[in-house]
Amino acid sequence: MSGFPYTNKQFLLIKYPSEAVTPDCFELHESAIEDLANNEILVRNHYLSLDPYMRGRMSKAKSYAAAQELNAVMQGGTVGEVVASRHPSYKAGDQLVCGGGWQLYSKINIEQEGEGVRKIDTSQIPISAYLGAAGMPGITAWYGVNKICKPQSGETLVVSAASGAVGSVVGQLAKQKGCRVIGIAGGPEKCTYVVETLGFDDCIDYKAFPETEDLSAELLKLAPNGIDAYYENVGGYIMDAVFEHLNPFSRVAICGLIAGYDGRSIPIMNPRAILVARASVTGFIVSDHLDLWPQALSELAQVIDSKKLVFRESVSEGLETAPSAFIGLLQGQNFGKQLVKLI
Amino acid sequence: MSGFPYTNKQFLLIKYPSEAVTPDCFELHESAIEDLANNEILVRNHYLSLDPYMRGRMSKAKSYAAAQELNAVMQGGTVGEVVASRHPSYKAGDQLVCGGGWQLYSKINIEQEGEGVRKIDTSQIPISAYLGAAGMPGITAWYGVNKICKPQSGETLVVSAASGAVGSVVGQLAKQKGCRVIGIAGGPEKCTYVVETLGFDDCIDYKAFPETEDLSAELLKLAPNGIDAYYENVGGYIMDAVFEHLNPFSRVAICGLIAGYDGRSIPIMNPRAILVARASVTGFIVSDHLDLWPQALSELAQVIDSKKLVFRESVSEGLETAPSAFIGLLQGQNFGKQLVKLI
């Protein structure tokens, strides 16, 4: 034994869900951590990010991300602090964001796996924000707004999952561009938050409009001049309802289709809307555009720092709660960016 | 009476079809033509173009084109010759393309309705081609290929309705760009034509693969490296099968969704494919891009003239045959550009 004084806890994925994710897909393991080899660092993870894309990986089906292997640690973004280092560029106390996974400690060989490791400055921005508005979800919002939706002042933009980590940033960025912004979220509490705290013009509680036709009628009331840009996080009948109001030359950014993540693929019922509106519907994954991250992060940090960008976190306490928090996220039970506090 | 010696025959639309178009939607009228007023010309139409978009107009539902009014002459593109003129820029004998409608003669007030009227030169290119490869369908192909599909040499492009007026041009333009081109058409005769006469690399007879899964398996055989660009004229399960093979960053041009024109809107069953492939799906209508018509027409005329672009016409004889030819077109019975000869 090396005497290296760290004990890890980690969740492995032990089976792929057939439909909805269930707690027995995961198994908690505890093990001693072996001493570092050359070029390795050991990170104590402070927060784990839970994100809808993880559901897409829990399958052998073709997806944009590599499949999550069975009997391996669940992958996921983390922020944390270096506790031991055998790499010259890192020292104990360095704070960083990395793909640490669902575990307390992550051992990373910087030369081999260092691509996703980035040091962060927490003097102005809290460490957890680097998993949200100042991290991957924020950049995801930034990319879809600036590179796909391209909303112009005076246009109407709609965003689904509006109170979430991505949607909340989407709407605020669009408001800053002078758009009329309508959110779609689940429940009156989230809708009130979206309008009163985030400053969207309106927010529709989709649970109050459970059919395409009802939701479409409500959209017509709130967007009487039609919809110029749509940022899609959800899919299903919400997308169908929005599609009925697309203006000529409108832009749809497909960021996520969480409605279909439980193994069911939910159709677009009226693709003719794309033709009638001469719309562009573009899927994207923010990790394809790493070249734009520095620009995006710098713009986001600026508006976070100056309090022009508000965000909210839903923090689950302790690694043991990760599976239930993740299942809740897929069911829309979170309110803001879903994190797990690991320390 | 004026003694003006022309008698017109014209088809009016007298009811909107509820599902499939039936002959009793149309009524043939015969009437004397009144003498020309100032700025008017009278055109003897030689060919009428029949196009799938007409089905979309035969409804009060929102579409990209204005609805076809009831009890009015069916609209449609024509080529013909001026037989009488009271406008200084036109004289008897001038040949032109215009929206003459389903009738033998069209009276056009050039100052008020002259926008779609264009004189044509039939010394190198036959007059009927101005309704096909050298006209709206050709420009439609040109636009979707050059501005949306943007196929690069070595990429694989798939086009549905491959033997049709638009699809046949799409594939030939893509071949000229160095692509591997796979057509989808209905029946062995059309498929043989697409490969042997038009020069596509392969053509799938969708009638031999009537389920998404079968068609998808066949596409995998012919496009083992995936599909980079898809030019969609059809929709329905053909689109679903193609979507399963979209490569990262692929481009889909939605030109038409003829599979859904009979009142039924056919879903996209797996929109997640758009996200997984980070694809762009763009609907377009060529009349939005009139600024590009001169460039497109000039490029098309050049390749037609030099025999690098092959096209085929399906000519129905006599105005009286227009309704049955149109119904046949919607059912895929035409073989090449569907025209009605009026003279």
Q: Which residue has the higher pLDDT, A281 or B115?
A: A281
Minimum-distance CB partner of B63 among A274, A276, A288 = A276
Q: Interface pTM (ipTM) of the complex?
A: 0.88
Nearest CA-CA distance, residue B69 and chain A, Å: 18
Q: Which residue has the higher pLDDT, B260 or A342?
A: A342
Locate B207 and state its tokens: 């009638």
Contact A272 B257 (CB under 8 A): yes
Residue A203 and residue A187 in contact, taking contact as beta carbons nearer than 8 Å: no
With cut-offs at 50, 70 and 90, classify the pLDDT of residue A59. Answer: confident
pLDDT at A115 over 90: no
Minimum-distance CB partner of A275 among B248, B254, B280 = B254
Compute φ and ψ for B294, nearest 5 degrees: -60, -45
Instruction: Break chain A into its structural domains and give their ranges.
Output: 7-132+311-341, 136-287
Least confident of A44-53, A81-90, A212-221, B113-122: B113-122
Nearest CA-CA distance, residue A156 and chain B, Å: 20
pLDDT at A271 over 70: yes
Q: Which residues contact A19 (CB under 8 A, 6 or more apart)?
A: A262, A263, A264
The whole-number pLDDT of residue A161 equals: 94
Q: Tens of pLDDT along chain B (343 residues)?
A: 457 889 999 999 999 998 899 999 999 999 999 999 999 999 999 999 999 889 989 987 766 667 899 999 999 999 999 999 999 999 999 999 999 999 999 999 999 988 889 999 998 899 999 999 999 999 999 999 999 999 999 999 999 999 999 999 999 999 999 999 999 999 999 999 999 999 999 999 999 999 999 999 999 999 999 999 999 999 999 999 999 999 999 999 999 887 766 666 799 999 999 999 999 999 999 999 999 999 999 999 999 988 999 999 999 999 999 999 999 999 888 888 999 999 9
Locate B226 and state its tokens: 């995936």
Contact A277 B283 (CB under 8 A): yes
Residue of A nearest to B258 (CA): A272
The whole-number pLDDT of residue A1 equals: 45
- Single-letter amino acid, residue A149: C
Residue B174 and residue B157 in contact, taking contact as beta carbons nearer than 8 Å: yes
Rounded CA separation A135/A150 (Å)? 21
Contact B275 A283 (CB under 8 A): yes
Domain B7-132+312-341 has CATH 3.90.180.10: yes
Contact A271 B288 (CB under 8 A): no
Contacts of A283 in chain B (CB under 8 A): 274-280
Residue A202 and residue A182 in contact, taking contact as beta carbons nearer than 8 Å: yes
Q: What is the mean pLDDT of chain A?
A: 94
Contacts of A257 in chain B (CB under 8 A): 271-272, 275
Rounded CA separation A66/A70 (Å)? 12
Q: Residue B301, SS3? A: helix
pLDDT at A242 over 60: yes
Residue B54 and residue B68 in contact, taking contact as beta carbons nearer than 8 Å: yes
Contacts of B282 in chain A (CB under 8 A): 274, 278-281
Rounded CA separation B251/B326 (Å)? 30
- In degrees to the nearest 10, what's the CA dihedral of A69, A73, A75, A80? -160
The whole-number pLDDT of residue A18 equals: 87
Contacts of B266 in chain A (CB under 8 A): 271
Fold (CATH) for A136-287? Rossmann fold (3.40.50)
Those residues of chain B whose CB sits closer than 8 Å to some CB in chain A are 62-64, 235, 239, 248, 254-257, 260, 265-272, 274-285, 288
Q: How do strand B78-85 and strand B72-73 relate by DSSP bridges?
A: unpaired
Which CATH architecture best describes the domain A7-132+311-341? Answer: Alpha-Beta Complex (3.90)
pTM of the predicted structure, to 2 decimals: 0.89
Those residues of chain A whose CB sits closer than 8 Å to some CB in chain B are 62-64, 235, 239, 248-249, 254-257, 260, 265-272, 274-285, 288
Per-residue pLDDT tens for A124-177? 899 999 999 999 999 999 999 999 999 999 999 999 999 999 999 999 999 999
The whole-number pLDDT of residue B261 equals: 63
Contact A267 B265 (CB under 8 A): no
State the best of A272, A280, A284, A289 to mutate against chain B, taking most chain B CBs within 10 Å.
A272
Q: Across the A/B interface, how many CB contacts are shorter than 8 Å?
A: 103
The whole-number pLDDT of residue B113 equals: 87
Nearest CA-CA distance, residue B279 and chain A, Å: 5
Mean pLDDT of A169-190: 97
